Structure 1
Amino acid sequence: MSEWEQLKEWAHAVDFEKAQVQALTLDQLDAPVPSPRQIFAIGMNYKDHAAEVNISLPTTPAVFTKYVSSLTGAIAIVELPSESVDWEVELVAVIASGGRNIPRESALEHVAGYMVGQDLSDRDLQFAGGAASQFSVAKSYKGFAPTGPWITSSDQIEDPSDLSMRCSRGDQVLQLGSTKNLVFDLPYLIHYLSSVVELYPGDLIFTGTPDGVGFGRSPKEYLVPGDELISSIEGLGGIRQRFVSRGSSAA
């Protein structure tokens, strides 16, 4: 990602028909950023999501991580480690140029582009510690961070703070939301994170999920073997996961 500007210049200049670039199908694509140094994720960052799980809005971003080994591409088969795996469609930002103490006013200049992401979550493990919730490990099983289908360059997205997003399971619409309902918008998240840690090229920021998660439903509703989850964000495309039981030969 340190050569992001050069890659953009090449992509804008190349004639793909003359270059005879081999077309790939979505299931041939790996995670667009397969080995970032850091993955940040933000909890309770949509007003309606906080309300549905009966949690007060945070006054400071609630930050956790998803471990790099959980990354996978746009089309994936994911094993279910328990009967309480939940869905969370999210806008994922990719950092192009990092640094510390990045001003909010110029924060989006540090973004390479955007992807669709799923913050899959094992609620059993997440709350197994009682008051000491285990967000990071519960959201980092193999395949629990699908991203893609590609990086949409930031100059192709006029306003990342007003993108519609959708998650469905087959014909059942699970989540409908918009990034305009973020509690902390992306410029603030970049500013806040960089005030604590150094951001590096290729770092990922999962910006939070809107309402409609299974944990917030009554009764609670989770993924089961055979489910297919489709997540999309306006202008960014879509990703798809099929779920199987743990140890299944289909995985």
Structure 2
Amino acid sequence: MKYRLAEGGGEAFYVIGITDEGEPLGLPQDEAEYSLKALEKVAEVIGAKLQILRRRKGKKGIIYEVLVRLSREDSPPVYVNVASLGNVDAGKSTLVGVLCTGQLDDGEGLTMRSIARYLHEIESGRTSSVSTHLLGYDSKGNVVNYDIVNPLDESQVYLSSSKVIIFVDLGGHERYLRTTLRGVMSRIPDYVMLVIGANSGLSVMGREHLGIAIALKIPVFAVMTKIDMVHEDIVERSLEELKKILKMPGISKLPFEVKDYDDVVVAAK
């Protein structure tokens, strides 16, 4: 387990009830519970904690999918760097602000203004610089930002978290492309969050940012915003357009659409 945690940067997935060949047979309830307790004891010895992600039925019994994470008391938090890319006005800063503060936007840029660095960004509503914002989770997977006085206080988020997602908020306008490139290259992100506005789809700069991520071999996940502003048909059309682009030669990615919690667990692996 120590090796797997070190390999995974402080986290590891375990599946109880799978054969060596990967067949999801499952275990009887008592055996599954016994295996889970044994795994928990091993985790305690090395200073880690368990979180059950899913409990589902196999062919012959119960299957547990478990996340093992080093506890905050014995080690610094696990870090994940996520660069926010996408076209201007796609809602990148607003999305990061909502995630980090837990407060919904008012439709007039309130959340964006709360995380903007400069006056001209507040006035124009467009990000032109590179900024970072922390989203912390405790050992049970709960967001810590929402329980502190200032959810954007990085020191408090750090001290209270077992895992920290560092959002790198970047500009989407072509005028700031060089600054955006500098932000991506200097932060060495683990993932790129490609933000796409449902009202405009994947525009020219959005495709440019996607190309940058592909060229740098950074894993990409896409988030579609503003789906409440347009009809469902337009949302579906934008999704199909994105999937088509991802399958094009030179990109050759297999799109996986996340619709529920089970899909989140599968994607996280």
Q: Give the TM interval when normalised to the shorter protein.
A: under 0.3
Task: Give the TM-score normalised by structure 2.
Answer: 0.24
* Higher RCO (CA 8 Å, separation ≥ 6 residues): 1
Structure with the higher fraction of residues in helix conformation:
2
Task: Give the TM-score normalised by structure 1.
Answer: 0.26
Larger Rg: 2
Structure with the higher fraction of residues in strand conformation:
1
